[in-house]
Amino acid sequence: MCINRRRGVASEHETYRTYSLHGMNADTMPNAWDIRETDLSPLADDAIKLRFALRYAALAPSNHNAQPWRFLVDGTTVLVCADRNRALSVVDPYDRELIMGCGAALFNLRVALQRFGLGYTIKLFPDPDDPDVLARVRVDRGSPRDTSIATLFDVMTRRVTNRSAFAPTPVPEDIQDALVQAALAEGVDAVSIGRTDIRDRVAELVTQADHLQLRDVRFRRELASWIYTGTHGDGMPAYAGSVGGLLDFTVPIMAAAIRTFAMDDGIAASHQRLLDHSPMLLCIGTGEDSPFAWLACGQALERVLLTATKFELSASFLNQPIEVEQLRSVLRREIAMEALPQVLLRIGRAPSVMHTPRRAMQEVVVE
Ligand SMILES: Cc1cc2nc3c(=O)[nH]c(=O)nc-3n(C[C@H](O)[C@H](O)[C@H](O)COP(=O)(O)O)c2cc1C
């Protein structure tokens, strides 16, 4: 197995114990988002550039901000691995979203490598005996650079999941097309859900899925275990993504409260309202459910999110009807999507929100 560390061991969180909610100590806990390309020496060799590029990979989104990845580096080659000790066994029992998060990290890595002037070759699932090794990325100066993703580098440090109510301003059609195209470019399918009656139906499904998930004590307990009131290198701090208006992930509710109370009614009602403030709904899907498809979908997801950021748009997730197995096929039918739905995004304009933290690089990079 590629991975062997467990989440939550004392040493992992010990590092962060001394930080208060607002008082992150920048001297000892560097902000992962504060990366400057100029920190990379012009004399850096390819191996150093690769390590620097991994700092961008680690900025990828992941469900519950679990950051379920590990990067095994050897010279100018890196294995992108799934860290299944960070799996979310209740909400994501088959590691579907876990692999999508790793796919998003892989996409960021591609964007950074191309920016640093490096071609690369990627072999997906290179080790038939180890399903945790999702991709082997080799810096290869002979390979052509992928210029189609060049403009996404500058927005990687600006992307953030924003759960606020979005302004009702419609997303222009050409931008909607660009977002769909961003997904298609990664070999997956995507549909923009425009019709009012279908949007209403999707809202109902989100509400229904919320009820089902939040009624499940195991779901609430798992979610609660990733919400913090202090600072950690992972999970969702209570400030994440506009706490006051955060309706699609229950972060305003303290972890203890989630363990004790079923909050489903309030949350579900908020969702309906939230859809009214979601000018664009985009569903990304794949032809099959397989680790290969999830990895492609994760790359597509990040490409869409970065493209949205480039257009000054915000995005967040309404994945509940996909996570609840029995509603997934209903969603697929309602939106007339041939592919299997994998992610449901809401996209629009909103004031910016704070970033969630990232683990220290020495925790995710293994040399
Ligand atoms: C595959 C996947 C599924 C996600 N599902 C949800 C979701 O259902 N609800 C939600 O609010 N956020 C969801 N998120 C967003 C994560 O919570 C978010 O990426 C994480 O907290 C890190 O924050 P950031 O995206 O601002 O960097 C998902 C992210 C990924 C990659």
Read off the pTM: 0.89
Q: What is the pLDDT of residue 239?
A: 58
d(C-alpha 299, C-alpha 186), whole Å: 7
Question: Are 187 and 300 spatial neighbours (Cβ–Cβ below 8 Å)?
Answer: yes
Written as one letter, the residue type at 256 is A
Query: How many domains is the chain partitioned into structurally?
Result: 2
Give the per-residue pLDDT at 230: 62
Q: How far apart are CA 69 and CA 87, in angstroms?
A: 10
Q: Is 236 in the pocket of ligand 1 (CB under 6 A)?
A: yes
CA–centroid distance, 65 to ligand 1, in Å, is 6
User: Which 8-state DSSP code applies to residue 167?
Assistant: B
Domain-located, residue 58? yes
Q: Which residues contact 354 (CB under 8 A, 6 or more apart)?
A: 160, 239, 240, 241
Q: Which atom belonging to ligand 1 lies closest to the Cα atom of 97? A: 1
Q: How far is the CA of 366 from the centre of ligand 1 (A)?
A: 25
Structural domain includes residue 214: yes
Picking from 221, 215, 226, the residue whose alpha carbon sits closest to that of residue 262 is 215
Please say whether the beta carbons of 274 and 106 come within 8 A. Answer: no
Give distance in angstroms: CA of 255 to centre of ligand 1.
Answer: 17
pLDDT of 228 strictly over 80: no
Q: What is the atom index within ligand 1 of the atom nearest the CA of 162? A: 26
- pLDDT for 165 equals 80
Can you give the pLDDT at residue 232? 80
CATH number, domain with residue 64: 3.40.109
Q: Is 304 inside a domain boundary?
A: yes
Helix (H, G, I), strand (E, B) or coil at 138: strand
Can you read off the two tokens belonging to residue 23? 């008082």
Has residue 2 been placed in a domain?
no
CA–centroid distance, residue 62 to ligand 1 (Å): 5
CATH of the domain at 258: 3.40.109.10
Q: Which domain holds residue 292?
A: 173-348
Please give the pLDDT value at position 226.
Answer: 86
The end-to-end CA distance of the chain, in Å, is: 16
For the CA of 64, the nearest atom of ligand 1? 17
